[in-house]
Amino acid sequence: MKIFFMSDIHGSLNYLQKALNRFNAEKADFIVILGDELYHGARNPLPLGYNPKDVAELLNTYSEKIIAIRGNCDSEVDEMVLTYPIMSTYSTILYNDKRLFLTHGHVYNEDNLPKLRDGDIFLYGHTHVPVAKKKNNIYIINPGSISIPKEDSPNSYAVLCDNLFEIKDLDGNTFLELNINE
């Protein structure tokens, strides 16, 4: 199974289309969205191609493949236009013998980790900065932002396949990776 992770779309139709082209090229099975689907938020500039209505419509065409959680820019009204749930602050999925804890990062983050066991994976967005590391026997992954990257990082996403996380730019080039079997 191959899982595609993205975060911080912030209503950018332009970057969502590029990310979904990568999802299709990767031949991934599921899309995990780590929050901030439709709106840019007061601290962010308007991203290229800002169009929350069309972003919602495009995401809805993939709804049977999406697992999503709520970001700090997401609200209950967003579920009126999206055909998949987004209002959970966190979710967990299982991958082989590991738990993947999915969150946006504004509640749980590297400085406020939930209770996890050795070898579990903490996945978050929010900072718009890609991360792939192991800390205190917990794997920590942030795919960065597809639309508004920060700290000179590229627009990016992550994929998990065969116990390898790869963080890639929107051209599909890997620039960070982490094996979760080590």
Dist. CA 55–CA 71, nearest whole Å? 16
Q: How many percent of the chain have pLDDT more than 90? A: 93
84-120, pLDDT tens digit by residue? Answer: 999 999 999 999 889 999 999 999 999 999 999 999 9
Dist. CA 64–CA 96, nearest whole Å? 21
Domain ranges in the chain are: 3-179
Dist. CA 3–CA 57, nearest whole Å? 22
Dist. CA 159–CA 1, nearest whole Å? 10
CA angle 135, 9, 148 (to 5 degrees): 75
The backbone torsions φ and ψ at residue 141, rounded to the nearest 5 degrees and listed phi first, read -130, 130
CA angle 114, 148, 32 (to 5 degrees): 45
Rg (CA), the chain: 15
1-18, pLDDT tens digit by residue? Answer: 999 999 999 999 999 999
Answering whether pTM is above 0.75, one says yes
C-beta separation of 86 from 67 below 8 A: no
C-beta separation of 141 from 121 below 8 A: yes
CA angle 127, 74, 41 (to 5 degrees): 60
31-64, pLDDT tens digit by residue? Answer: 999 999 999 888 888 999 999 999 999 999 999 9
Q: Is the pLDDT of residue 182 over 90?
A: no
| Band of residue 137 on the pLDDT scale cut at 50, 70, 90 | very high
The predicted pLDDT at position 44 comes to 82
**Average pLDDT for residues 63-70, to the nearest whole number?**
97
Give the pair of three-digit tokens for residue 54.
Answer: 């069309």
* 43 or 24, which is more confident: 24
Say yes or no: domain 3-179 is CATH 3.60.21.10.
yes
